């Protein structure tokens, strides 16, 4: 299947939705309101611009919308950690869909956005026509790996570092050097997709001020502070799996999972057993893809997403 042989859709920026819960979300969009809605949900440490290539492609056939999640870029940034619990972020997306005038949509999500949207699909399947997840583990499988798999615990050790006070200042130091290292996967050179122009956009987003004078990155780091998903430490155990009912973790919507298998933090073992929780599952592996596969191979990712819409 080929992408549409037409000009990319124009992306509109600086749009805001005021939600009933009081949150103000910034979003970018492409395509005309009234067409079927596609919602693109970013992860850490990104913002709506992560989906630029997808907005340009799918705005040709859909109303393609990419919000900044709460705590990121131009969206509201509550100060308290409690405000970043998954149920709060799920509520934002549910209300955004309805505020935009829709009752159903296609959802495409990556990283933290994927974690949120797995939960959204479990809790509100009536809102989700199709789900596309890119390198974001199913919550139950991830909790199980964090509790019992030493390799996953080691790969996710950075989560406990991010939970510590002051991590946002450390990430921002030396012109965001640590965040850029995350994007390159360690000590390697800057990835090819992270051009000077893209870097400038990301630095501006990482510098967007927080509320009440808080640090610009505090909201995004608070996702790690608020989640029960973390590797165990001497002071804190991993999430108690007995608190989770596997039957409530089943996703009952058609789902495509795209997995870059060269992901250092989220290895391919995390998709083992996924079919037990997603009856209508299609899994597409990209062996050479890293966690940032949406940037590395946007055309291939677009083709896979397009095929899921057929």
Q: Is 26 a catalytic residue?
A: no
Residue/partner pairs of 173-179 with CB below 8 Å, 24 or more apart: 175/203, 176/202, 176/203, 176/206, 179/45, 179/206
Strand, coil or helix: 250: coil
Would you say 266 and 277 are in contact if contact means Cβ atoms under 8 Å apart?
no
The two tokens of residue 47 are: 């913002």
Of 84, 111, 263, 295, the catalytic one is: 111
**CA–CA separation, 150 and 152 (whole Å):** 5
Task: Give me the residue label for tokens 């996703």.
Answer: 251
**CA–CA separation, 197 and 194 (whole Å):** 8
For residue 29, the cross-strand partners are 12, 65
Distances (CA, A) of 273 to 11, 25, 56: 38, 35, 34
Task: Give me the residue label for tokens 């974690």.
Answer: 115
What single string gives the DSSP state of each residue in 72-102? STTS---SSGGGGSHHHHHHHHHHHHHHTT-
Q: Is 224 a catalytic residue?
A: yes
Q: Is 111 a catalytic residue?
A: yes
Looking at the chain, the number of H-run helices and the number of E-run strands are 11, 8
Residues annotated catalytic, as ranges: 111, 224, 291
């Amino acid at each position: 299947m080929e992408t549409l042989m037409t000009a990319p859709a124009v992306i509109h920026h600086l749009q805001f939705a005021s939600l009933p819960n009081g949150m103000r979300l910034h979003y970018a969009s492409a395509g005309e309101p009234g067409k079927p809605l596609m919602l693109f949900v970013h992860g850490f440490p990104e913002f709506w611009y992560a989906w630029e290539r997808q907005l340009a492609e799918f705005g040709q056939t859909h109303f393609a919308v990419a919000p900044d999640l709460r705590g990121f870029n131009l969206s509201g940034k509550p100060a308290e950690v409690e405000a970043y619990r998954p149920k709060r972020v799920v509520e934002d997306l549910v209300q955004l869909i309805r505020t935009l005038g829709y009752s159903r949509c296609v959802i495409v999500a990556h990283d933290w956005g994927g974690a949120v949207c797995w939960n959204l699909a479990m809790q509100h399947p009536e809102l989700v026509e199709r789900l596309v997840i890119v390198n974001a583990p199913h919550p139950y499988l991830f909790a199980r790996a964090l509790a019992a798999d030493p390799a996953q615990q080691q790969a996710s050790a950075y989560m406990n570092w991010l939970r510590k006070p002051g991590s946002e200042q450390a990430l921002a130091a030396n012109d965001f050097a640590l965040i850029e290292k995350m994007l390159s996967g360690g000590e390697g050179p800057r990835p090819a997709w992270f051009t000077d122009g893209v870097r400038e956009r990301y630095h501006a987003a990482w510098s967007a001020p927080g509320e009440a004078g808080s640090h610009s990155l505090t909201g995004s780091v608070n996702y790690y502070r608020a989640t029960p998903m973390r590797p165990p430490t001497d002071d804190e155990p991993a999430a108690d799996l007995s608190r989770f009912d596997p039957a409530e973790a089943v996703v009952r919507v058609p789902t495509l999972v795209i997995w870059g298998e060269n992901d250092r933090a989220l290895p391919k073992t995390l998709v083992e057993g996924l079919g037990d929780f997603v009856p209508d599952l299609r899994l597409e592996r990209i062996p050479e893809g890293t966690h940032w596969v949406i940037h590395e191979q946007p055309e291939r990712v677009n083709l896979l997403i397009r095929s899921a819409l057929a």
